[in-house]
Amino acid sequence: MQYYIVHDGISTRILLSELLAAADRGVRVRILLDDTTSDDLEQTIATLATHPHIQIRVFNPLHLGRSTVVTRTMGRLFNLSQQHRRMHNKLWLVDNCVAIVGGRNLGDEYFDAEPKINFTDIDMLSVGPVAEQLGHSYDEYWNSALSKPIEQFISFKPTSRDLKDLRTRLDESLEQTRKQNHGLYQKLMSYTTHPHLNQWRRELIWARNKALWDAPSKVLSDGEPAPYLLLATQLAPELNGVTKELILVSAYMVPGQPGVVYLTGRADAGVSISLLTNSLEATDVPATHGAYAPYRKTLLDHGIRLFELRRQSGDHGDSKPSLFHKGSSNSSDSSLHTKAMIFDQQKAFVGSFNFDSRSLLWNTEVGVLVDDPKLAGQVRELALEGMAPGLSYQARLEDDHLVWVTEDNGKQRTLTTEPGGWWRRFNSWLSSTIGLEKML
């Protein structure tokens, strides 16, 4: 497993219980985490690594000042040129035969189990040679000089007794959740008692595909990394080769001047381009929205369609594949976290890559490019679902001013003020004013 974020919660604890059970069966479990994930969890992570079949490493670790949150923060600030570069990859890999890639981190908010807000995301299950390719990507990171065993950073080495105590606390916490939130517990546990793997196997689409990833050494570059290290360089032939339609879905959309030149150039060449990202009211990072907002008018002037997902409540009564849910006010709000591209309704890319400077230049990413109209059509259908007028605002120009067109109860509404509270507006404005764009 390879992850950028791991948050504590019932979904993570259930997964942890399953990982321990697999390790008990003799399965070799390797977990590679971005070092920022270890904040406040270092001792717990190290305790897991005392299991004889579990190895845990952290990527691009902070070597000094790890003892408290304050010293960690100071340590990263003093070494910001490297510490702001993170491993953003999300990857599950089983026996080098089956792999899952996408935008989803680990935490209740990524598995529809958080009462306040959940992220809508997309993952791709892959089998066969592409899983082996992803295995090579994992080994590159695992064996990198930037990956260090978590035990190197622990003052008090955990023992087998500590692992036993951790198992006891884990079992007790799951039992407490079963009693206090039985519905959620049953829903999540059903995936362990009635796994969906056989259904997923029947739904597999056999297609040409390949794994793409940034070189781990990307984060060691002085300044901007060389193009040969970049996932984006591998995607360039698809981006430059699109002739009819391009759909980009990105939770964080910061095209920058090079991205604007590319998008407007393609649009001027006759390519239909649609972008789906978060609205100001839905995003979890208003600062990123502030870096995106100044480009909207230029993009719209060239005929590019912009859709911004509204903050929606979830309604999970529909069993068909869906990223976006609308309806029940009793469910938690949702924010877009998906990262996908669809080229000419023929190819689709799904992974951890956002259309922003951080994914392009600073963080490392991974994904799978599939050449198949059926799968591309399915991903496209999900993207178009998110662009529906009841789910998104369509940004348009009227008399050279931005407006946001949406639909409520079947009736069209046009907003002349951007939706979002004053604090979000302030953060967005501040980001744009002080010029954080290249870091976002």
Query: Average pLDDT of each block of 10 consecutive residues along the chain (440 residues)?
Result: 94 95 98 89 92 97 81 84 93 97 94 85 96 98 97 89 96 94 91 87 95 97 95 98 98 95 98 97 92 96 97 52 46 82 98 96 98 98 95 96 95 94 87 79
Give CA torsion, residues 106, 350, 220, 255, to 10 deg. Answer: -110
Q: How many residues does the chain have?
A: 440
The amino acid at 43: Q
pLDDT in the model for residue 324: 60
The DSSP bridge partners found for residue 93 are 99
Q: Let me know if the fold of 2-202 is the same as that of 224-439.
A: yes
Question: Could you give the strand order of the β-sheet that contains 312-313, starting from the edge strand earlier in sequence?
Answer: 117-120, 333-336, 312-313
Exposed (0-12), middle (13-18) or buried (19+): which is 377, by Cβ within 10 Å? middle
Q: Is the whole model's pTM more than 0.75, yes or no?
A: yes
Q: What 8-state DSSP symbol labels residue 376?
A: H
Q: What 8-state DSSP symbol labels residue 219?
A: G
Is 90 catalytic? The answer is yes
Distance (Å, rounded) from C-alpha 136 to C-alpha 152? 25
Is 400 catalytic? The answer is no
The closest of 95, 164, 105, 96 to 130, measured between CA atoms, is 96
Could you tell me which residues come within 8 angstroms of residue 316 by beta carbon, excluding any fewer than 6 positions away? Answer: 112, 325, 328, 331
Six-digit token string for 264 = 């407007």
Chain-centroid distance, C-alpha 16? 20
pLDDT in the model for residue 64: 79
Sign of the torsion angle spanned by Cα atoms 133, 242, 308, 354: positive
Say which of 51, 218, 325, 337 is annotated catalytic: 337
The DSSP bridge partners found for residue 3 are 33
Domain residue extents for the chain? 2-202, 224-439
Exposed (0-12), middle (13-18) or buried (19+): which is 412, by Cβ within 10 Å? exposed
Tell me the CATH number of domain 2-202, given options 3.30.870, 1.10.3470, 1.20.120, 1.20.1740.
3.30.870
Is 51 catalytic? The answer is no
Six-digit token string for 416 = 């002349």
Sign of the torsion angle spanned by Cα atoms 215, 221, 224, 228: negative
Q: Which helix (H) or strand (E) holds 347?
A: strand 347-351
Q: Are 127 and 24 in contact (CB under 8 A)?
A: no
Dihedral-angle region of residue 420 (phi above 0 means left; psi in -120 to 50 means alpha; beta otherwise): left
The closest of 124, 122, 121, 120 to 100, measured between CA atoms, is 124
The 10s digit of each residue's pLDDT in 406-433 is: 999 999 999 999 998 888 888 888 888 8
Per DSSP bridges, beta strands 208-213 and 147-149 are: unpaired
Say which of 24, 39, 40, 95 is annotated catalytic: 95
Say which of 333, 344, 371, 372 is annotated catalytic: 344
Q: Are 346 and 430 in contact (CB under 8 A)?
A: no
Give the number of other Cβ atoms within 10 Å of residue 171's Cβ. Answer: 12
Say which of 34, 51, 88, 356 is annotated catalytic: 88
Strand extents, DSSP E, 24-90 = 29-34, 54-59
Six-digit token string for 241 = 């080769």
pLDDT in the model for residue 331: 46
Give the number of other Cβ atoms within 10 Å of residue 333's Cβ. Answer: 16
CATH (residue range 224-439)? 3.30.870.10
Say which of 90, 218, 289, 325 is annotated catalytic: 90
pLDDT in the model for residue 156: 85
pLDDT in the model for residue 318: 40
pLDDT in the model for residue 321: 42
Distance (Å, rounded) from C-alpha 350 to C-alpha 367? 6
Is 337 catalytic? The answer is yes
Six-digit token string for 221 = 């570059």
The closest of 57, 200, 227, 41 to 139, measured between CA atoms, is 57
**DSSP class per residue in 235-289:** HHHHHHH--SEEEEEESS---HHHHHHHHHHHHHTT-EEEEEEE-TTT-S-HHHH
Six-digit token string for 398 = 């009227």
The amino acid at 16: L
Distance (Å, rounded) from C-alpha 356 to C-alpha 363? 10
Could you tell me which residues come within 8 angstroms of residue 234 by beta carbon, excluding any fewer than 6 positions away? Answer: 212
